[in-house]
Amino acid sequence: MAYINHFNATLDGLHFGGMFDGDFFLTWEKTWDEIQAVFTVADALRALREDNVSTKIFESGLGISLFRDNSTRTRFSFASACNLLGLEVQDLDEGKSQIAHGETVRETANMISFMADVIGIRDDMYIGKGNAYMHAVADAVKEGYLDGVLEQRPTLVNLQCDIDHPTQCMADMNHIIHHFGGIENLKGKKVAMTWAYSPSYGKPLSVPQGVAGLFTRFGMDVHLAHPKGYEVMPEVEEVARKNALLSGGTFTKSNSMDEAFKDADIVYPKSWAPFAAMEKRTTLYGNGDDAGIKALEKELLAQNAAHKDWECTEKRMTATRGGKALYLHCLPADITDVSCKEGEVAASVFDRYRVPLYKQASHKPYVIAAMILLAKVKYPQKLFADLVARGTNRFFG
């Protein structure tokens, strides 16, 4: 199968050994070669599956999922990724576990990991908490492994935290790479990462921050636009500036959706909560201040309502490059007159891009599987050759 030789040749030219026996927290903590290795392995796994070749590298084992926020796409993508590699998935429901009775992070992490090879966590609601919790779990299972409690050290994959949404943004980027025909064609492409109106409040900042932190590494011109008061984490903006400087791209900010959309090659209109408000909400929840939380929610809904004109409309899409910019969304989108009265995107725009949006989402299971595989397999080139030689069909229909 010649296509595997192509993927292996690409991997041969990359240095990604640092991913072995590691975790995946933030994209900007990974080297350029490691990022490319994830895309290459993801594409190889997809090609093998489409060619009816089984990619089950585990005969047994668990993938533990812990979602502290609602999820459809990421939850099923993680389950699909684990199954693709031969792992079964067990969801950790904190409400039905001893965590509700005060069990420590260290104890929980070890108790769920006796036969676990990967732990996927979504913890995106509270500033300064989600990513820190993931590190606490990773440190606990590493300690358990070194102490001889665990037979293997489970890999931790960030399924969305308060800082970054690496599986989403990596899937988005792989979609972009395929759409434009290769990484070499992305330099100079303008990306409009813009806030958009939503009738709900408190949406995480991790998608716009993840896009700013990842897309600037590809020499792209990333334009972050939002109304005044909807700033993201300043430290992530600094990451984006440094990445743009190194890649030859740019990182621009404005308070104009129209300015961002003008001549854009890619648009990503997405609602998020102000960083300052998310910090305040974290403090209120920590103090158990229910009245304060309700007051903040009322305040933020009113703040959102002052910017209903921040919508991805047909008129704005005509201002993009050739009127044909690639529209992205992590889904679910707030679609005007469909899922809500007024929302992030006009129904006609969303419907026109519905198939590309589904294709965008389809990359996520393979990206997650690639993150897991690169943490477990030191030489994926040999593994892929062995899988082809083994010749086990995925489906015997």
The pLDDT confidence band at residue 100, using thresholds 50, 70 and 90, is low
Q: Rounded CA gap, 84 and 185, in Å? A: 30
Tell me the average pLDDT across 92-108. Answer: 76
Q: Is the pLDDT of residue 245 over 90?
A: yes
For the chain, residues classed under CATH 3.40.50.1370 are 2-164+364-390, 166-359
pLDDT digits (tens, 9 = 90+) for 316-354: 999 999 999 999 999 999 999 999 999 999 999 999 999
- As given in the structure block, the two tokens for residue 328 are 């992205």
pLDDT digits (tens, 9 = 90+) for 246-273: 999 999 999 999 999 999 999 999 999 9
Residue 274 pLDDT? 94
User: What is the per-residue DSSP string for 275-332?
Assistant: HHHHHHHHHHHHTT-HHHHHHHHHHHHHHHHTTTT--B-HHHHHTSGGG-PEE---S-
Q: What does the alpha-carbon distance between residue 60 and residue 30 come to, in Å, rounded to a whole number?
A: 29
DSSP 8-class letter at 217: G
Between CA 77 and CA 206 the distance in angstroms is 18
Predicted local distance difference test score (pLDDT) of residue 151: 96
At residue 96, the pLDDT reads 62
Q: Which CATH fold would you assign to the domain 166-359?
A: Rossmann fold (3.40.50)
Average pLDDT score over residue span 228-252:
98
Mean pLDDT across 201-218 = 96
Q: In CATH, what number does 2-164+364-390 get?
A: 3.40.50.1370
Q: Indicate if the pLDDT at residue 158 is higher than 60.
A: yes
What was the pLDDT predicted at 98? 62
Please say whether the beta carbons of 154 and 64 come within 8 A. yes
Task: Return the pLDDT at 97.
Answer: 62
- Predicted TM-score of the model (pTM): 0.97
Q: By the 8 A CB rule, do 162 and 206 touch? A: yes
Q: What is the pLDDT of residue 103?
A: 77
**Cα distance between residue 159 and residue 78, in whole Å:** 8
Residues 217-234 have a mean pLDDT of 97
Nearest to 207 by CA among 247, 177, 167, 234: 167
Is the distance from CB of 329 to CB of 354 less than 8 angstroms? no
What percentage of the chain carries pLDDT values higher than 90?
A: 94
Sign of CA dihedral 35, 37, 39, 41: negative
Residue-wise pLDDT for 7-65, tens only, equals 999 999 999 999 999 999 999 999 999 999 999 999 999 999 999 999 999 999 999 99
Is the Cα torsion angle 202, 206, 212, 218 positive or negative in sign? negative
Q: Say how far apart CA 42 and CA 36 lie, in whole Å.
A: 10
Residue-level pLDDT at 162:
97
* Predicted pLDDT of residue 160: 98
- What does the DSSP 8-state code read for residue 255? S
pLDDT tens-digit profile of 165-208? Answer: 999 999 999 999 999 999 999 999 999 999 999 999 889 999 99
